[in-house]
Amino acid sequence: MNFEFSQEQELLREQARGFLGDNCPARVVRAVLEGDSQQSVELWGKIAEMGWTAAVIPEEFGGLELSYLELCVIAEELGRAVAPVAFSSSVYLATEAILAAGNQEQKEHWLPKLATGEAVGTFAFSETHGRPTAASLTTVASGGKVNGTKLPVADGIVADFAVVVAGSSQGDGASLYLVELDQAGVSREVVRTLDFSREHAKIDFNEADAQLLGGDGSGWDATQQLLNRAAVLYAWEQVGGADAALEQAKEYAMGRYAFGRPIASYQAIKHKLAHMYVKNTLARSNCYYGAWALNSNSGELALAAATSRVAATQAFVNAAQENVQTHGGMGFTWEFDCQFYYRRAKLLSVNIGSEAHWQDRLITAYEQTNAA
């Protein structure tokens, strides 16, 4: 079976890479890191104009109705550019939640706005240290009101609404609620993370108006399915970043001379770059598996998602660290761009669960697949 992308999808990659090369150079990322903005508003608008935010949204709601393979290509290129925008929160999570669980009215209201980039969504899940479970959820909803705190919420400052995972006495112990964040019952506070080109937030809900998304008591299973789908897209973003970090390290090693020779000619650097390449290539092969499972809605999606997520996390963190090491003492300074990949690698490694969490999910999915 050939898992590689088609010629049309490779053309999309070429277009996306050229677009981001022009509109998201290093100075754009640095401007967000050094400024007060939580994302590049100008870049977000241009991405929406390209139709990327509308990629998998059905045409009846103003989308392009492309396949998830095209979205994987876009995710990889955004990862390569370490784009400082809320694309993953809004597209991988909020849009997917409404597509999967929203009623017709909710879809008609929000999907056209998400497609044009007019609205930005996020997913509010975590609220305690450690791994959330249905029993640990403290956010509760009664009478259409949501109370509690979510921390941290990726892109929670720039988002217009959040899909909130709340506790429920029904079904699987959780429900999904759609909460508009610009209301009196919601307060937001910036939470600084290692990568502050992607701001996070602490969101407090105090009798906030909310709409049930899907059935009451079906939120925990819906969340796990949503995370499996998002994990594949995050993995492609991580692979893009890992490849960019490798290319940056290689370029520096080829141009940096020590004792009259490029440092790339020394065995220690050669081995370092080769090891990065091997891990990146392994992660990419696992991501192809994940892309196939996501696009075909395969019964193997849970296994493929965990496999791609673990491999991509390991590859990106390794490549980002080795890129800094290859640059030597200068790689640790603010003036060098190595930090962009290191910051993003660390952020994405825990964004929807740590590597250890996804290793556990991998083992569980493997056992369930074999049992079946």
* Structural domain of 145: 121-215
Task: Tell whether 2 is covered by a domain.
Answer: no
Query: Residue 220 has what pLDDT?
Result: 95
Task: Tell whether 43 is covered by a domain.
Answer: yes
Q: What is the tally of structural domains in the chain?
A: 3
Q: Is 112 found in the same domain as 31? A: yes
Q: How far apart are CA 281 and CA 290, in angstroms?
A: 14
Tokens of 137: 């959820």
Query: Residue 199 has what pLDDT?
Result: 87
Query: Residue 130 has what pLDDT?
Result: 66
User: How much is the mean pLDDT over the chain?
Assistant: 94
Model pLDDT for residues 106-148, shown as the tens digit of each residue: 999 999 999 999 999 999 999 876 677 777 777 887 788 999 9
Question: Is the pLDDT at 29 greater than 70, yes or no?
Answer: yes
Confidence of residue 1 (pLDDT cuts 50, 70, 90): low
Model pLDDT for residues 271-287, shown as the tens digit of each residue: 999 999 999 999 999 99
Tokens of 231: 């994990």
Q: Is 358 found in the same domain as 312? A: yes
Q: Is 357 found in the same domain as 278? A: yes
Q: Is 363 found in the same domain as 237? A: yes
Model pLDDT for residues 209-223, shown as the tens digit of each residue: 999 999 999 999 999
Q: Please compute the mean of the pLDDT values over residues 350-363 and round it to a whole number.
A: 95
Q: How far apart are CA 48 and CA 316, in angstroms?
A: 27
Among the listed residues 91, 58, 86, 85, the one whose alpha carbon sits nearest the alpha carbon of residue 72: 91
Task: Tell whether 278 is covered by a domain.
Answer: yes
Question: Is the pLDDT at 319 greater than 80, yes or no?
Answer: yes
The domain spanning residue 240 has which CATH number? 1.20.140.10
Lowest-pLDDT range of 8-12, 23-27, 54-58, 143-147: 143-147
What is each CA distance from 255 to 180, 190, 242, 333, in whole angstroms?
51, 40, 20, 19
The domain spanning residue 164 has which CATH number? 2.40.110.10
Q: Is 168 found in the same domain as 102? A: no
Q: Is 229 found in the same domain as 210? A: no
Task: Tell whether 287 is covered by a domain.
Answer: yes
Task: Tell whether 1 is covered by a domain.
Answer: no
Q: Which of 145, 180, 215 is the last residue of a domain?
A: 215
Q: Is 237 found in the same domain as 332? A: yes
Q: Is 273 found in the same domain as 185? A: no
Model pLDDT for residues 43-70, shown as the tens digit of each residue: 999 999 999 999 999 999 999 999 999 9
Q: Which of 172, 195, 215 is the last residue of a domain?
A: 215
Q: Is 340 found in the same domain as 252? A: yes
Q: Is 18 found in the same domain as 112? A: yes
Question: Is the pLDDT at 291 greater than 80, yes or no?
Answer: yes
Confidence of residue 329 (pLDDT cuts 50, 70, 90): confident
Query: Residue 106 has what pLDDT?
Result: 98
Q: Which of 91, 116, 141 is the last residue of a domain?
A: 116
Question: Is the pLDDT at 197 greater than 80, yes or no?
Answer: yes
Q: Is 99 found in the same domain as 136? A: no
Q: Is 350 found in the same domain as 225? A: yes
Q: How far apart are CA 262 and CA 151, in angstroms?
A: 47
